[in-house]
Amino acid sequence: MGNHELTEMLIHALENSQVGFDSFKESFQQCASAFEIGNDQEGVRVLTELIDPLKGFSRFCADMIGSHVENIPEELFNELGTQCETFQNLLADILEEMESSNFVEVGDILKYDLGDLISSMSESFPTIALALRKSVPQTQE
Amino acid sequence: MPTISNQTSEPTVFQKNCKTVASACINDTLDKIKAAEDTGDLTFQEAPEFPLASLVINNRLFPLQSPPRPEIEATNLINHWLQGSLKRRTITLLGIPNLYIVSELIDKLPQGSTLILLDTSAKYLKKLFSCSDLSILISDSIKIHLLCHEDPTALASAFHNIISNETCLSDATYITPAQARTRPELGDIQNSLNAKIRLSAMDRVTVASFADEWLQNCLINLPEISQSPGIKVLFDQFKKKDALIICAGPSLNSSLEYIKEHQKKYLIIAVGTALKPCLNAGIRPHLTIALDSDPKVYRQFMNIEDAPGVLITSYTLFPGIIQMYSSNILPFNSLVTKGFAAWLNNADCEHGFLNVGGTVSLSALDCALRFGCENLFVFGLALSFPEDGTSHAKNSMYQGQKISHGLVKVKGNRHDTVNTTKQFANYIEIMNSYFRDVSASFRGKIFNVNSCGAHIEKLELMRPEEFNSRKHNVAEDFQQIVSSLIKPVNSEIDSLCISTIESFKEICLKSKNLLSSVTSNKTPPELKEFENEIKNCPLCSQLLAPSLKSWCISIENSNDLSPQEMTLSLLNQINGASEWIYGLLENSHQRYKQQTQGVSHG
C-alpha cells in the first residue's frame, strides 16, 4: 500500500473519529457511575472491555505521530504529542489504581481526566485531518 | 513580678466540635472519641466546602470521596440509595461520616427525619472532629444521632435501642462504596445492623396487627388487673435466692426428675406451656407466666383442677385464663401495652414492667432478674428440634407435634449446628440481644441446663446431671413468701371508667356527625378541631391508639383512595373503635363493681 493510500485512510479515520470518541465517553461514564454507587462488578466489567480499545487508540496516536510528522503543522503536532503522552500516562494510572482496587480514583480519572482529554482530542482530530488533506497532492484524471 | 495574662486561648476545632455535637452523641460516644489515640491512617485535605478524607493503606492514599466533585458524587449516591424518594424517614450511615453526603441529606430530607451516624473507630472520629467543622450536624429540622462502639455487637445493640424509639424505622444501613472497599470489616457490621432493622420491623408489624386484639383483652381483663398490686411487689424480694426457669422445649424431659427432687430449694417460674409437663412430673411451680392473647393458649391451663401458685400475666392474656386464676394474678406492663398502662396510671394503677420479645421464656428470665435472684437455672430452653422434629416437652399442649420442614441450621450447644425454624432463629437473636444487654449489670450466673439445644450467648452450659449433683440451697417456703407479698390495692378505676366511657360516647357522636359533613376532597374545618380534641384528651388517645395503628396497616396498601375516601375511612374507624371501646369498658366496669361490692381495702 502506498503512502498516499495510507494517508487517505488516516484522514478518513480522523474525519470519522467522533463516533469512537462518543463511544469512549459513554463507556467512561458508565464505568465511573458503576464505581460511584459501589457496583464494582459492573465497573470492572466495563473497564476490562475498554482496556484493549484504549491501548489500540494509544498505538494509533503513536503511529500517527511517527508516520506523519512532516505533514502535520508544528503547532498541531506538538499539541497532539502532549495529548498522546497524557493519554498514555492516564492509561497507566488507571491500570495501577485498578490493581489496588482504588476505584474512586479510577472513576475520577475516567470521568474527568480522560473524559476531558478525549473531548479535546475529538476537537483536534478533524483539524489534523484537514491539515493532512491539504498536504496530500490531488491527482487529476 | 511578671504579669499574668488574662487572655484565654481560642478553643481548638476539636473542642468546638465536642461542644457542638455533644447532644447528638449516644451513650459514651463522646468520651470514647476524646480518649481515642491520634491516627495517621486517616488524612484530610482542604477543600472549598468540607475537607476531603482519605485512608492511608500500605502507604497509598485511598480517597473516601471523589476529590474533583464530591458534591456531585454525594448527590448521585443519595439518589441511588433513596431511589428519588424523600419522604420523612430514618437513615443510617455506617462509617466515617462523609460530610458532603450528610450535608445533602440534611438539606433534602423533610422535617422530622432522623440521621443515625455509626462507626466502630473512635480514632477515626477523633480525626474527623479535629479536622472538620461539624456544625452542619446541628440541624433544626433533622434529628442526628452519633454512635461509636468498638465492639460491633454492642454497637448493633445500641443501634437497636435507637431505632426502637424512632417513629420512622430505618429502611436500611448505607455505607459509601469507598468505605465498603477500604474497610471490609464494615460489611459484616452492616449485615448485623440490617438484621436489627428487620427485627424492629417484625416487632412493629406484630404490634400494629394485634393491637386491637390486645386492647380488647386488656379491657376485658380490667376488673382482675385493677385489683392486683402487680408484678412489682416481687421486684428485689429474692436476693441471694436462686431460681429455676422452666421452659417447654423437648430438652426439659431429661431434667424433670432433678427439678422435682430439688424443687423446694428454688423459686420456680414456669412458662405456661411447661405447666402441664411440670404438674405431670410432680413439680409445682410457684409462679407461672403467660402472655399470649391467642385463645389456643387456654389449652396450657385446661383441665388443671388446682393450678398452683400465682399467674404472672401480661394485660393482654386471653381472659379465660385470667378469670381462672381470679385474684391470684400479678399483671405487668410491657412495651406493647404502654398506652393502656398510661391510661391505668390515671387511676394510680401501676403494676411494674417486664421485657417481652419473641418467646415467653425471655419474660420469665426477666422476672427472675428483676426479683433479684442470684443464680438462674434455665431448663427446656432448646429453641431447636431433635432429629425426629419433636417441638415441645412431653405432656404439653403440643404433645405429638413434629416440625420437619422450613428448618434452618443454627449453632448448637453440644453440636456444631442444630435444626430450628426461622421464627425460632429470630427468637435466638432476640435472646442473644437481651443477654448482651443485661449481662453487664447482672452479678450472678445464668445456667442453660441442657444436654442439647441451640446455643444462646452469655449462658453457661450445664448438663442436667451436673445440676443434680451441685450444692443446693436449703429448702424454703417460696409459695408463702410470694403470697405474703401480694396485698390488695385501692385504685380510682371506678371513676376512671366512668370518665373514659363518657369521653368515648362524645367522640362516637361527634365522629358520626362529621361523617355526613365530609362531602368532597376538601377537609372541613371541624375535622381539625375534632383531631385536636382527641389528641388533647389523654383518656381517649391512650386507648384509641391501637385502633389507629390497625387502620394505618389496613390502608397501607390502598393506594387508590381519594382524600375524601381516606377521611371517611378514618372517621368510620374512630366511630367504630369508640363505640367498641366504651362497650367493652361498660361491661368490665360492671364486672368490677360486682367483684368489689362490699369489699374495702382501706
pLDDT at B412: 93
Greatest extent of chain B over all pairs of C-alpha atoms, in Å: 96
pLDDT value, residue B3: 41
Q: Are B243 and B266 in contact (CB under 8 A)?
A: yes
- Closest-CA residue of B relative to A39 is B177
Q: Do the Cβ atoms of B62 and A40 come within 8 Å?
A: no
Residues B26/B166, Cβ–Cβ less than 8 Å? no
Q: Which pLDDT does position A116 carry in this prediction? A: 93
Lowest mean pLDDT among A55-64, A69-78, B241-250, B324-333: A69-78
Q: Of B246, B221, B409, nearest to B323 (Cα)? A: B221
Q: Are A103 and A40 in contact (CB under 8 A)?
A: yes
Q: Indicate the residue of B62, B63, B180 with minimum beta-carbon distance to A38.
A: B180
Q: Strand, helix or coil at B513?
A: helix
A26-42: pLDDT as tens digits: 999 999 999 999 999 99
Distance CA B217, CA B588 (A): 11
The verdict on B71 touching A (C-beta cutoff 8 Å) is: no
Task: Identify the residue among A30, A33, A98, A102 best suited for mutation to test binding to B, counting B beta carbons within 10 A and taking the highest.
Answer: A102
**Does this complex have an ipTM over 0.90?**
no
- Picking from B283, B261, B309, B285, the residue whose alpha carbon sits closest to that of residue B472 is B261
User: Between B60, B67, B73, which is nearest A36 by CB?
Assistant: B73
Residues 50-69 of B with CB under 8 A from A: 60, 62-69
Query: How high is the mean pLDDT of chain A?
Result: 88
Are B60 and A102 inside 8 Å of each other by CB?
yes
The answer to whether B125 touches B6, Cβ cutoff 8 Å, is no
Say if A105 is an interface residue toward chain B (CB within 8 Å).
yes
Cα(B90)–Cα(B167) distance, rounded to whole angstroms?
Answer: 9
Cβ–Cβ under 8 Å, residues A6 and A132: no
The answer to whether the CB atoms of A36 and B67 lie below 8 A apart is no
Cβ(B385)–Cβ(B250) under 8 Å? yes
Low-confidence ranges of chain B (pLDDT < 70): 1-8, 557, 598-602
Q: What is the mean pLDDT of residues A102-118?
A: 94
What's the pLDDT at B410? 92
pLDDT at position A138: 64
Compute CA distances B10 → B51, B132, B595, whole Å.
21, 16, 72
Nearest-CA residue of chain B relative to A102? B62
Helix or strand or coil: residue B234? helix
Report the C-alpha dihedral over residues B233, B238, B244, B245, rounded to 10 degrees: 30
- At B6 the pLDDT is 44
B114-119 β-sheet, strand order: B143-148, B114-119, B90-94, B170-174
- For β-strands B42-45 and B52-57, DSSP reports them as antiparallel
Backbone torsion region of residue B444, taken as left when φ is above 0, otherwise alpha when ψ lies between -120 and 50, otherwise beta: beta
Write phi, then psi, for B434 (nearest 5 degrees). -60, -45
Using the Cβ of B93 and the Cβ atoms of chain A, whether some distance falls under 8 Å is answered with: no
Say which residue the cell 424517614 belongs to. B89
* CA distance to partner chain B, nearest, from residue A122 (Å): 22
What are B341-368's pLDDT values in tens digits? 999 999 999 999 999 988 999 999 999 9
| Nearest in space to B230 (alpha carbons), one of B72, B345, B389, B390 | B345
Residue keyed to cell 493510500: A5
Predicted confidence at residue B140, as pLDDT, reads 86
Chain A: closest CA distance from residue B93 (Å): 14
The residue written with cell numbers 432448646 in the block is B382
